[in-house]
Structure formats: structure tokens, C-alpha cells
Structure 1
Amino acid sequence: MNTKKQPLFIAFSSQKGGVGKSTFTTLLASILHYRLGYNVAVFDADFPQHSLMKMKTRDLAMVMENQHLKKLAYKQFTTINKKAYPVIQHKAENILEAAHEFSETSTVAIDVIFFDLPGTVNTPGILKALAGINYIFTPITADRLVMESTLIFTQLLQDVIMKKGETSLKSIQLFWNQVDGRESTPLYTIYNDLIQQLGLNLMDTQIKNSTRFRKEGEENTKTVFRSTLLPADENLMKACRLDIFINEFLKIIQL
């Protein structure tokens, strides 16, 4: 009899590119694995970009070339006494079976598996994969096209998969990303009301717009934000409210 605890399956998912799916997958995976003591794995099924696989290669090169980050990484890995979390490339089809198999054969008990999935419902196996995820988090921006496609997609998941189908999905959470602190746009109020009317979940925390989301590490940088090998710098997290987001995220998934 297999008594191994099943990991939580989590995806940052959206039908629009460029809203921060891969960034949030990396940020959360690194904070949970390196700072909060959980064991994490990531499945990258975002064909053809596979941006997380590429990011891991880039991060490794950057840490090796930057003396400060190299020391930081050495100190981290000797302190936490575990390896970097694996990033596994896989097609969306049969990804759930692959994740279950990975977790069952892993020498350490995996707490969370993050999935970076393709941003289109037309990908073979994608709806089945989404139905097998426990929690879906969807970044949204105050852009009409992003909102329209996201609300249609989220309603489809909630009405078709959660209400009718066999599913592991416990909740879908929308959250505001790239919020400009200077603009008090009435758009947010309109969209918040609409989200409520549609019966969808919206997280309280709004992620502030930050250049760090788009900045890849400079050569001599002493801090990192988005990295597969190190957790985001705490000051940079506070600047965009990621610290508050993490607390709300953990409350939702009840890890």
C-alpha cells in the first residue's frame, strides 16, 4: 500500500501571453523551495518556448559568472542541505501521469508540483491537465483583451470542469498583476464588480508594477528577483507586495 503523501498540483494559468505565468511559477517555486523549506518540482509544458527550462540554464550561467551570487548560492545550498528543484520538460498530454510517477519515485517527499502550461485551450490534453490541477492562479491586467479572454476562460473552467466533470480542481483564483500605483483607474472598480457578479474568486493582494519583472539579471547584480536557483530578494518582494501575496497564497492552498 502506498502511503506517500500526494503533492499539491498548482498552475499559474492564463489564455494570454505576457501576463506573468512563467515569472510567478518561478518566484513561488523558489520561495517555497529555498526559503520556506518545502520540496518543489516544476513541470514545463509551455511548448514551444519552454521558458522555464531556458531560465534554469541562464540562471546557472549567471550564478557561475557572478562572484557575489555564487557565494550566495553556495551558502544557501549548504544551509538548506538540498538540491535545486528540478525543472522537467514534458508535453501537456499525459503530464499528470508523469507528475504522479515523478512524485512516487522521488527520493524526497514532494510537497508541491508547479505546472507551466501552454496558454491555449487548443493544445492537446490541456483541459484534462487543468482538470487534474488542485489550484489555478490567474494573473490579470487592466487590459480589455486580457480581461475578456481570462473571464471567458475562467468561467469555462468553473462551469464545465468544476461543476460537471471529474476534477481535482479546488479553486481558481484571479489576481491583479502589474498594477500601477499612480493610476486610480475606474477600470479596476468596473472589473472587480464584474468578477464578483460572475461568481469568480479574486485575491485581495494586488501585485504592483515593477521593472524587476522584466529585468533579467545584470552581470554584477547583488540581488536577484526571478531565479530558479535563489529566492527573490526580500526588499524587492516588499516593493511589489509579493511578500503579502505569498501569505495569501499559502492560506488558500493550506499547505
Structure 2
Amino acid sequence: MVILIGNQKGGAGKSTITLLLANYLSEVQQQKVTVLDMDYQQSVSSKYVKAKILDNDAPYEVIPADLKHFPILLKVLTKNPNEIVLIDLPGKMDDDGLIPVILSGDLIISPFNYDELSVDSTLLFAMVASKINNQAPIVFIPNRIKSNVRYSTRGEVDNVLKKFGTVTSGISDRIDFQRVSTLYTPAIVLPVILPLFDLIYETYIRRKDIIC
């Protein structure tokens, strides 16, 4: 199964969600996971390399990849039907090389923030992704929700996004997420992310495994 994590807007928490989901799938659900880091900043790969330098064995492999190597990587990784491939997409959608990547997705996850720039970028990402691949469900995750901010347009934004997919409950903004690595998710954030990922797993990932 191939899961894409994407949004055009930087700062939406795309790489953090990738790490959190990889940790969840490998540790909680005991799934075989490989992460392809295709984001230009390579932040997931950097954390993975740092963990290896410290002589720690990560529970999954992170592979920095560019678009031209994607077809062969996908062919190799999907030989195992039980493998879950997470792809941290580039932050821009202006490269035709992304078409086969988006076409490969069985599930698309798009974290976003409730600010105008993020919402506009999320909508553009959803429109492009759904036009290229209309078979993969899109799950939008409101991220970095600030408890002291009143999001007056939240309902309107959710209603627009629901035309393209499902909008989940939000993830609060907290400093602990900066400590997420390829080795571990801080216990203090588990109550925040476990209900969300359990829902995504049962609704989209486990069901896909059963069908396959």
C-alpha cells in the first residue's frame, strides 16, 4: 500500500505527520514500513541519519528519493504486498514527474492549517491530486490548532474540503511534536494522535489490507 502525505504549503506539518504515522504503523500496528522522503528539505531523512549516527536502529527505513528514481523504487518496494510505503511529497506540484507518484497512491493524507494561505494551498493540492488520481481517498488533517485562537471560518473551510475528501479532528499545536524522531514518538502526544491514526488505520489501511 502506498500512502502519500502532501500539501503545497510549507509549515503544514507534512514531515511531522509522516514521522508520526510511520512510528504508529511500525510500533503500534507492527507493519512493515518504508518512508520515501521526496520533500526538498529532506527533514525526515535528516532525522533518520542522525539516529543512525547515534547507533540507533530505526524500526523502518527512510530513503531520500527524487522523482526520476521513483518508478524503480516503487517497483522494488511494492514487491512485498504487506509493505506500507509512506511518501513525503515535495512541497510544489509544478513538476510533471509527480504524476506517477500521485497515481501510485492508495491513500492521500493532507495536513493543513486554518490560515488563508494554507487553505488555498490545500485546496489546490486536493484539486490536482484528485484530478490525477480519483481512486485514492483524501484525508485532511487540521494541524497545529492553537487553543487560544478562534477559527471563525473553520466550518466553511471544512465544508469546502469535504467536497474532495474527509476532514478529521484537529491536532493541537504543542512543543512536544518537535521531539518526534524516526525512533520514537513522545508518550505525552500519544493521547492526541492515537485516536486519529486508529481511525485512519481502521477505515483506510486495514480495510485495504483485507481487500487485497
Q: TM-score range by the shorter chain?
A: 0.7 to 0.9
CA contact (8 A) 1:41 1:110 kept: no
- How far the C-alpha of 1:43 sits from its partner, in A, is 1.0
Secondary structure of 2:68's aligned partner: coil
Q: Which amino acid aligns with 2:30?
A: G
- Is 1:55 aligned with 2:19? no
- How far the C-alpha of 1:52 sits from its partner, in A, is 1.5
User: Which stretch of structure 1 is more off in the superposition, 177-186 or 33-42?
Assistant: 177-186
CA contact (8 A) 1:92 1:124 kept: no
d(CA) in 2 for partners of 1:173 and 1:21? Answer: 13
Runs of 4+ in structure 1 over 3 Å off: none
Which aligned pairs between 1:173-252 and structure 2 lie closer than 5 A? 173-196=139-162, 199-213=163-177, 215-216=178-179, 226-230=180-184, 232-238=185-191, 241-252=192-203
In structure 2, do the counterparts of structure 1 residues 133 and 207 end up closer, same or farther at CA, with 3 Å as the change threshold?
same
Unpaired runs of 5+ in structure 1?
1-7, 65-72, 78-82, 164-168, 217-225
Other-structure match for 2:210: none
- Is 1:28 aligned with 2:3? no
Q: Which amino acid aligns with 1:182?
A: N
- Is 1:162 aligned with 2:126? no
d(CA) in 1 for partners of 2:98 and 2:159? Answer: 29
Q: Which amino acid aligns with 2:136?
A: K
CA contact (8 A) 1:205 1:248 kept: no
In structure 2, do the counterparts of structure 1 residues 126 and 162 end up closer, same or farther at CA, with 3 Å as the change threshold?
closer
Secondary structure of 2:26's aligned partner: helix
CA contact (8 A) 1:178 1:209 kept: yes
The normalised TM-score by structure 1 is 0.73
Among residues 103, 115, 123, which one is paired with 1:151 in the alignment? 123
Secondary structure of 1:93's aligned partner: helix
d(CA) in 2 for partners of 1:149 and 1:207? Answer: 19
Among residues 68, 73, 85, which one is paired with 2:60 in the alignment? 85
CA contact (8 A) 1:177 1:209 kept: yes
Identity value in percent: 21
CA contact (8 A) 2:161 2:167 kept: no
Q: Which amino acid aligns with 2:141?
A: F
d(CA) in 2 for partners of 1:116 and 1:192? Answer: 23
Q: Which amino acid aligns with 2:23?
A: S
- Is 1:95 aligned with 2:86? no
- How far the C-alpha of 1:156 sits from its partner, in A, is 2.6
Which structure: larger Rg? 1
CA contact (8 A) 2:140 2:168 kept: no
CA contact (8 A) 2:176 2:186 kept: no
- How far the C-alpha of 1:125 sits from its partner, in A, is 0.8
Among residues 27, 30, 39, which one is paired with 1:37 in the alignment? 30
- How far the C-alpha of 1:146 sits from its partner, in A, is 0.9
Secondary structure of 1:186's aligned partner: coil
How many matched pairs? 206
RMSD after superposition: 2.2
Secondary structure of 1:254's aligned partner: helix
Unpaired runs of 5+ in structure 2?
207-212
- How far the C-alpha of 1:110 sits from its partner, in A, is 4.2
CA contact (8 A) 1:121 1:127 kept: no
CA contact (8 A) 1:96 1:132 kept: no
- How far the C-alpha of 1:54 sits from its partner, in A, is 0.8
The normalised TM-score by structure 2 is 0.86
